[in-house]
Amino acid sequence: MVRVTRNYRFSASHRLHLANRSDEENQRLFGKCNNPHGHGHNYVLGVTVEGPIDASTGVAVDQGKLDEFVYREIIALFDHTYINMDVEPLREVPATAENIAFVIERRLQAAWPWTQPRLAHIRVEETKRNVIELDVINFHV
């Protein structure tokens, strides 16, 4: 078994804000990320798959098919959006990097077309200092 990671990029904006909290509390919790006009990031999404190496091709995953799948299921949904309004599951919860990672993981799992390789790991880099990782194989909601 080997693990293969492919990285993808998308740009999106969001606002971290809790409607049930005061403006002061939101400012304390989220600082500049609570800007009423939102703010943007150039996200890096790492998708790691795990599976055996195919003896005839020498690879564990058809990278072109994986790229098509991730672009269709994730990049097309998130790229150049205002996440709080444009991404359905994130209209009702704060658009934190953690929640973004969960939405991505759930979408990939729900549409995953292969028995091998398996989805193993999701990594969402919002900034160099804010990175969220989900070990999908061992992760249960």
Residues carrying an active site annotation: 33, 80, 126
The CA-CA-CA angle for residues 48, 49, 51, to 5°, reads: 150
Closest to 75 in 3D by CA, of 9, 4, 127 = 9
Sign of torsion, CA 8 13 18 22?
positive
Residue 81: partners with Cβ closer than 8 Å, 6 or more residues away: 12, 13, 87
For the chain, the C-alpha Rg in angstroms (whole number) is 17
Q: Where are any strands of DSSP class E within the chain?
A: 2-14, 39-51, 81-82, 118-127, 130-135
Longest CA pairwise span in the chain (Å): 61
Structure tokens at 107: 């979408």
